[in-house]
Amino acid sequence: MRIPVVVSKIIQETPHVKRFTLKPQLDQSLPRFHPGAHILTYLHSGSECFVRSYSLTNCPSHDYYEIAILKKVRGSGGSSCWHEHVKRGQTLTISYPRNFLHPDLSAKHHVFYAGGIGITPFLSMMRWCRKRGASFELHYSAKTKHDCAFYEYINREHPDQTTFYFTREGERIDPGLVKQHRIGTHLYICGPESFQNEIKTAALHTGYPKGSVHLESFVQLHSDGFNNPFTARLEEKIINVNQEDTLLDALNKEGAGIPFSCRMGQCGTCEVAVKKGDIVHRDSFLTEEERCSRMLPCVSRGEGVIEISMK
């Protein structure tokens, strides 16, 4: 189910990041959300519909949602469409808020590692920590102060908990820092894939339990960077999926006619049922329960031989 919203305000946060305020239409209200939540936005441009995930950056008690979008130079068009075509007063639809990342209630200390626009899910999580008196710190890396989204806000609200690293000034987050956090710390990492992998690897080598290291799911797609070939059975057909192809592409080359939209595991349009076999799930759409019997072939893959159906 989708929610219609109106773009009520647009702020140029940095030269490459814009903030968009989304308000409900007329007498409607928006569902409450939890810290770390994100929404899917459905933005139409000509015959295309860009489906993208964005974290909610505002306070959950507000009667609106706010998202912040980095314009990607070599992206697939979604962020450019937001930056270049979306105007105040425009209407669009969004999903209900979803949470794959949230503060762990058992943590004795929360440490947020943000790379660039990866700061966005942490804004509401840090507010939550402050409100509950939970101990936290932020390590935030950006190219320059000028490119650092929410720099003034963070400096004002969390000056004692934050360390900024400006890479153009030769500063960088040392993954070895994870050794210095006390026992019972939970790590939350969001940023470019290499940034996430570096910190996650350092944490696991240091001995953090897997459950204490949290990555923002919608940027961890393809995180192992490796695609095994595998075989899929669909009714009478046997389809070999090579390393370069997605299962979606392989199925549609065989004439399966599976509909799709985002091709990023975010919208659920390409969902198929899994009857047999092991799946490597790489989407940010299905719940753990749904993953027992469903998969999104635009990003997820099988291991060995799997059996799927369109139902």
Least Å distance, CB 270 to ligand FES, is 3
| Nearest C-alpha neighbor of 273 from the set 240, 311, 237, 246 | 311
- The residue (of 58 and 95) whose beta carbon lies closer to ligand FES is 95
Q: Which of 261, 277, 290, 307 binds ligand FES (CB under 6 A)?
A: 261
The secondary structure of residue 247, as a DSSP letter, is H
Q: Which of 219, 260, 279, 281 binds ligand FES (CB under 6 A)?
A: 260
Q: Which of 117, 268, 272, 301 binds ligand FES (CB under 6 A)?
A: 268
Q: Which of 103, 115, 265, 302 binds ligand FES (CB under 6 A)?
A: 265
Question: Which region among 54-62, 86-94, 162-170, 258-266 touches ligand FES (by CB under 6 A)?
Answer: 258-266
- The residue (of 21 and 95) whose beta carbon lies closer to ligand FES is 95
Binding track over 292-311 against ligand FES, x by CB under 6 A:
----x-x-------------
Least Å distance, CB 225 to ligand FES, is 19
Q: Which of 263, 277, 290, 307 binds ligand FES (CB under 6 A)?
A: 263
Question: Which region among 83-91, 143-151, 236-244, 267-275 touches ligand FES (by CB under 6 A)?
Answer: 267-275
Q: Is 291 in the site for ligand FES (CB under 6 A)?
A: no
Euclidean distance between CA atoms 164 and 152, whole angstroms = 12
Q: Which of 262, 272, 286, 306 binds ligand FES (CB under 6 A)?
A: 262
Least Å distance, CB 259 to ligand FES, is 8
* Tokens, residue 94: 């969004």
Q: Which of 285, 286, 306, 308 binds ligand FES (CB under 6 A)?
A: 285
Least Å distance, CB 292 to ligand FES, is 18
Q: Which of 178, 213, 267, 306 binds ligand FES (CB under 6 A)?
A: 267
- The residue (of 233 and 263) whose beta carbon lies closer to ligand FES is 263
Q: Is 266 in the site for ligand FES (CB under 6 A)?
A: yes
Size of the site for ligand FES (CB under 6 A): 13
Burial class (CB in 10 A: 0-12, 13-18, 19+), 26: exposed
Q: List beta partners, residue 307.
A: 233, 276
Q: Is 97 in the site for ligand FES (CB under 6 A)?
A: no
3-state DSSP assignment of residue 103? coil
Q: Is 269 in the site for ligand FES (CB under 6 A)?
A: yes
3-state DSSP assignment of residue 28? coil
| Nearest C-alpha neighbor of 92 from the set 9, 18, 11, 22 | 22
Q: Is 78 in the site for ligand FES (CB under 6 A)?
A: no
Euclidean distance between CA atoms 283 and 279, whole angstroms = 11
Burial class (CB in 10 A: 0-12, 13-18, 19+), 150: buried
Least Å distance, CB 97 to ligand FES, is 18
Helices (H), the chain: 78-85, 120-132, 151-157, 193-206, 247-253
3-state DSSP assignment of residue 81? helix
Non-local (6+) Cβ contacts of 152 within 8 A are none
* Tokens, residue 152: 């003034």
Non-local (6+) Cβ contacts of 92 within 8 A are 4, 5, 7, 41, 42, 43, 44, 86
Residues that bind ligand FES (CB under 6 A): 260-263, 265-270, 285, 296, 298
